[in-house]
A and B are shown apart, each in its own frame.
Chain A
Amino acid sequence: MNAWKEFNKGIIKENPVLVALLGLCPVLAVTTTVINGLGMGLATTFVLLGSNIVISVMGKFIPSKVRIPCYIVIIASFVTIVDLLIQAFSPALNKSLGIFIPLIVVNCIILGRAEAFASRNKLWHSILDALGMGIGFTLALFLLSAIREILGSGAIFNIAITGNISPILIFVLPPGAFAALGFIIAIVIYFTKKSAEKNKGAK
């Protein structure tokens, strides 16, 4: 039950993007197509999983004075691994995600989980936490990129769906990213409040 909660919380209740508003730079920048969004989400999940595992195992040995440099070195090596793998096996994704893959190093979700969770929890819980947070991040990216691709390019997974109707270009541009993300966050807040009130009423 407890373990399930560690996994669960990242998806809705403490969703890194929609609730904690962390790591918004890649979220806004790469979500012009669903494939980009999913690629970024999965890459970040991989790094999160790797760094959470290593930091949770090593946590006790790392002196607190040098913990941030240690975390950054660990995170940076996993990011480099992902970067090399993507370059090797998905050159197209590499081209469209570009600089944002190396920039996962400074994504505050990962350092945040390392500092707030992995360094003080058991391995098993840290793995679940990483998976939950990673899936929450990927879902948010998927949602945002799907909206942006459908509205902005009239396509999904690069397959045109709207025919001759001209797409609303602003959604593939930066302002559209802010607007769409704002709407998604608003809807999430609306529903979480509603369910909170329901719970109160039930009690």
Chain B
Amino acid sequence: MENTKLIVSYPPYTKSKDSIEKVMYTVVFALLPAVVAAVYFFGLRALALIFVCSISAIGFEYLINVFRKQEIACFDGSALVTGILLALNLPSNLPYWMAVLGSFVAIVVVKQLFGGLGFNVFNPALAARVFLLISFPVAMTIWPIPFSVDMQTAASPLGILKTEGLKAANSITLWQAFIGNVGGSLGETSALALLLGSVILFWKKYITWIIPVSFVGATLAFTGIFHYMEPLKYASPAFHFTCGGLLLGALFMATDMVTTPVSKRGQLIFGLGCGLLTGIIRLFGGYPEGVSFAILIMNAFVPLLDKWDNYSNGKKWRLTKMRSVIVLTCIGFFSAFLLYMTDNITKEPIKKAIERVKVEALRQIFPFEFSDKDINIAFDKNGKEFFEIKNKDNSLRGIAVETSSDKGYGGEITILVAVSPDGKVFNYNVLSHKETPGLGNKIENEAFKKQFNGKTLDGFNWKVKKDDGFVDELTAATISSRAATDAVKKGLEVISNKYFVENKK
């Protein structure tokens, strides 16, 4: 068991005779073309963001050094590299505090809590980027357009591909994407600058060709197969090569010495895994870009790959060690198959059941009969859903809308309010509430609901009697009564804003 303790190596030493400082500052130098490109395309805000990330990363490193009573190592360059890499992964208009939070996650959580330089499992800059992406999905996916003065924003090419389809994405020329004149994070847009910068790393042998080539190759092969099978549905490999973070990831993230395998075989598997996962996520995943996720997932395999090498080089690797993996994988496939079958059977019924519940809820609050075909769904400019019930001649018979009030005794009350075309309340239906059974939940009783029947927004004092309004509050449930009144009134308001105010004008 002695040798297993030595597996957790300190890769920056084993890979190069140069000191950490020299390696790290060379990496900074290699990143310069990308930094210059970022400032050229996105202006001084990009430079400021790179500054904020770098300074805060070094600052957090210093604080941790002090806190852990270590040698002060915050100027060895590794924190600077992490800071710059993080900044290159962010949109240039990201609020500074989010960037600082990202540095905190990268340096404190991902790097130092796992043991500091050489011991972290995940790439700090990438893990921080994913943390920010998941936490602030809006701020992290609105990309400023290059050269725009007033910070106009747009989706990235991959985002356009995901949401608007191939046709919209094809309006971007490959040359545009190659030099970096597209929306995207600071560093990912210019393929040219990244390739230029990486030359020095190859020349200095700080990175080998194995990971970048297998990574990019696997992505191109995977996307290529789908592109040539269905060219109208899937973007070309050239698009996937130049757009998004593939090159930034493959050249600067997946080659990080600490979080990648030591052996050539391990690096090959690592690179292929990254590339394949990137392709899968880009084509079939929920996020438009998969590079960061792919690298982080493969980071998690690195200890296993290193361990495998250790065993196989010593001829100790036996099939029994693989059995756990094989059995668990088989069970995973078996489960996936079972669920696929069930999903096939239940997909339609679930859709219908949800429809039916909605229609039933609507039926209960309108005083007249109507068929499913008479229901029309409309939206206002905020995207709020309105259910219109139409007559045979397509004129309006009634409108229903979902509203809620958070003034309830137990929290939010959500109701569906039905209103006539002349602005009178028909009835409402409580969709969800957390009021006290026996007291507050009487807002569901017809006796309470009845008093809103026929009331209009102007001709009624929308308050409970205790507050000098017109609504008879429920005994011992004034708060619930207030909340229900509030919700009905809100429903009436949004309906009259959409249907009556506009009509008057």
A contact set with B: CB distance below 8 Å: 58, 61-63, 65-66, 69-70, 73-74, 76-78, 80-81, 84-85, 87-89, 91, 94-95, 152, 167, 169, 172-173
A70 touches B331 (CB 8 A): yes
Bits for B208-252, please: 1 = Cβ < 8 Å to A, else 0. 000000000000000000000000000000000000000000000
Q: Among A66, A87, A173, which residue has its beta carbon within 8 angstroms of that of B353?
A: A87
A61 touches B327 (CB 8 A): yes
Name the distance in Å between A32's Cβ and chain B's nearest Cβ.
8
Q: A63-B324, A169-B438 are in contact. Are A91 and B353 (CB under 8 A)?
A: yes
B332 touches A73 (CB 8 A): yes
Q: Among A77, A87, A95, which residue has its beta carbon within 8 angstroms of that of B350?
A: A87
7 closest pairs, A vs B, by CB?
Answer: A88-B349, A77-B335, A88-B346, A169-B438, A91-B353, A84-B346, A66-B324
Complexed CA–CA distance, A76 and B335 (Å): 9
Q: A73-B335, A169-B438 are in contact. Are A81 and B342 (CB under 8 A)?
A: yes
Complexed CA–CA distance, A172 and B438 (Å): 10
Q: A78-B338, A91-B357, A173-B437 are in contact. List 15 more A-B contacts (CB 8 A).
A: A62-B331, A63-B323, A66-B327, A73-B335, A77-B338, A77-B339, A81-B339, A81-B342, A84-B342, A84-B343, A87-B353, A88-B345, A88-B349, A89-B349, A167-B438
Q: Does B356 contact A (CB under 8 A)?
A: yes
Complexed CA–CA distance, A26 and B438 (Å): 23
Complexed CA–CA distance, A93 and B346 (Å): 16
Taking CB atoms and an 8 Å cut-off, the chain B residues in 329-366 that contact chain A are 331-332, 334-336, 338-339, 342-343, 345-346, 349-350, 353-354, 356-357
Q: Does B328 contact A (CB under 8 A)?
A: yes
Which chain A residue shows the least CB distance to B439? A169
B-side contacts of A69, CB under 8 Å: 328
Which chain B residue shows the least CB distance to A54? B334
Complexed CA–CA distance, A63 and B318 (Å): 14
B-side contacts of A91, CB under 8 Å: 353-354, 356-357
B-side contacts of A70, CB under 8 Å: 327-328, 331
B-side contacts of A58, CB under 8 Å: 331
A74 touches B437 (CB 8 A): no
A-side contacts of B345, CB under 8 Å: 88
Complexed CA–CA distance, A89 and B354 (Å): 11
Complexed CA–CA distance, A70 and B345 (Å): 25
Complexed CA–CA distance, A62 and B334 (Å): 14
A-side contacts of B350, CB under 8 Å: 84, 87-88
Interface size of B as a range: 20 to 34
Which chain A residue shows the least CB distance to B437? A172
A74 touches B324 (CB 8 A): no
Complexed CA–CA distance, A84 and B354 (Å): 12
B346 touches A85 (CB 8 A): yes
Which chain B residue shows the least CB distance to A80? B339
A-side contacts of B354, CB under 8 Å: 91
Name, among A61, A74, A81, the residue most crowded by chain B CB atoms within 10 Å (CB to CB).
A81
Taking CB atoms and an 8 Å cut-off, the chain B residues in 461-496 that contact chain A are none
Complexed CA–CA distance, A94 and B349 (Å): 13
B-side contacts of A81, CB under 8 Å: 338-339, 342
Complexed CA–CA distance, A77 and B356 (Å): 27
Q: A84-B346, A85-B346, A88-B349 are in contact. Are A74 and B323 (CB under 8 A)?
A: no
Complexed CA–CA distance, A80 and B340 (Å): 11
Name the distance in Å between B349's Cβ and chain A's nearest Cβ.
4
Q: Among B331, B343, B438, which residue has its beta carbon within 8 angstroms of that of A74?
A: B331
Q: List 5 A-B contacts (CB under 8 A).
A: A62-B327, A65-B324, A66-B328, A84-B339, A89-B353
Which chain B residue shows the least CB distance to A85? B346
Name the distance in Å between A189's Cβ and chain B's nearest Cβ.
30
B-side contacts of A169, CB under 8 Å: 437-438
Which chain A residue shows the least CB distance to B341? A81
A-side contacts of B327, CB under 8 Å: 61-63, 66, 70
A-side contacts of B328, CB under 8 Å: 66, 69-70, 73
A-side contacts of B346, CB under 8 Å: 84-85, 87-89
Name the distance in Å between B72's Cβ and chain A's nearest Cβ.
42
Complexed CA–CA distance, A59 and B345 (Å): 29
A73 touches B331 (CB 8 A): yes
Complexed CA–CA distance, A84 and B349 (Å): 10
Which chain A residue shows the least CB distance to B357? A91
Name the distance in Å between B338's Cβ and chain A's nearest Cβ.
5
Taking CB atoms and an 8 Å cut-off, the chain B residues in 345-399 that contact chain A are 345-346, 349-350, 353-354, 356-357
Which chain A residue shows the least CB distance to B348? A88
A85 touches B335 (CB 8 A): no
Name the distance in Å between B446's Cβ and chain A's nearest Cβ.
15
A-side contacts of B324, CB under 8 Å: 63, 65-66
Bits for B423-437, please: 1 = Cβ < 8 Å to A, else 0. 000000000000001
Which chain B residue shows the least CB distance to A62? B327
